[in-house]
Structure 1
Amino acid sequence: MKTNIDIGTLANGAVGERINLELQKVAENVQDPNTDWKKARKVTITITLKPDEEREIALVSADIKTTLAPAHGIATKLIFGMEKDGNVVAAELASGMKNQMMIDNDGDLADDKGQKVSYLERKQAQGGK
């Protein structure tokens, strides 16, 4: 017995179209520099056929699933402290070390959280007036 089924035209081409969409997702994931190039990507096509009692007609469903490489995790550091009134505060550490001044991307002096510091604030931080 020979079948005349073409997966590219199955369901008026919807199955082939879905496969192409999933392959496009894989291609985009492969090109994403935030993913691990070593991880395998997968497109799984499951075609389920449920025949009727007479075995003459079958209901067909096609499920296409993609397994992509996840994006790399993102790490940063937070600093914690307490205000004079007892409120706990947290901020992202931008300078690399708590209480360390830094030069920001604009060439300006900034505190350990990346906030610009004025000349007066800098003098006060150094213990001067």
Structure 2
Amino acid sequence: MNVDINNLAGGAMAERINRELKKVAENVMDPNTKADAVRTVTVQIKIKPNDARQIGNTEIEVKSSLAPAKGVPTQFVFDFDKEGKAVMKELNLSNDRNQMAMNDAGDVVDGTGTSPSAKVVGLYK
């Protein structure tokens, strides 16, 4: 018995395998995915014979399992606002939320880009 898989289902199986392999190649070359993650291409041939066992309805399924996109790193700082509610903000100027810096306008800001005087309650006048 020989089944020519290149011509199986009128060549549709080979076409689908190549389509999934193209997805794998694109996923491997995507810098947003982990380089050494395992990718797979699975071919599943389901055959359901009739009661007389003379004909089998067949379904061919080809699918790929790709590497997910890498996470995008960032950092958040957490604190309480003036009303005592928990708040968070992305840390975008340094790795230390208490490190002072200067923004593009020349104002002194903390690691979240907020003026430290805006956070002080009961500031002396």
1:57 matched residue in structure 2: 55
2:5 matched residue in structure 1: 7
1:113 matched residue in structure 2: 112
Partner SS, residue 41 of structure 2: strand
Query: Aligned partner of 2:53: which letter?
Result: R
Distance 1:107 1:66 in 2: 51
Distance 1:77 1:37 in 2: 24
CA contact 2:44–2:61 (8 Å) conserved in 1: yes
2:31 matched residue in structure 1: 33
Off by >4 Å, runs of 4+ in structure 1: 106-110
1:125 matched residue in structure 2: none
Query: What TM-score results when the alignment is normalised by the length of structure 2?
Result: 0.71
Task: List aligned pairs for 1:85-104, cutoff 5 A.
Answer: 85-94=83-92, 95-102=94-101
Identify if the C-alpha distance between structure 1 residues 62 and 111 changes in structure 2 by more than 3 Å, giving closer, same or farther: same
5+ residue gaps, structure 2, are 118-124
Query: What TM-score results when the alignment is normalised by the length of structure 1?
Result: 0.69
Deviation at 1:103, TM superposition (A): 5.7
Aligned length: 116
2:46 matched residue in structure 1: 48
Deviation at 1:107, TM superposition (A): 8.9
User: Is 1:76–2:74 an aligned residue pair?
Assistant: yes
Deviation at 1:50, TM superposition (A): 1.5
Which of 1 and 2 has higher RCO (CA within 8 Å, sep 6+)? 2
2:121 matched residue in structure 1: none
Deviation at 1:55, TM superposition (A): 2.5
Deviation at 1:27, TM superposition (A): 0.7
Query: Aligned partner of 1:113: which letter?
Result: T
Deviation at 1:38, TM superposition (A): 2.1
Partner SS, residue 8 of structure 2: coil
1:19 matched residue in structure 2: 17
5+ residue gaps, structure 1, are 122-128
Indicate the percent of aligned positions where both proteins have the same amino acid.
45
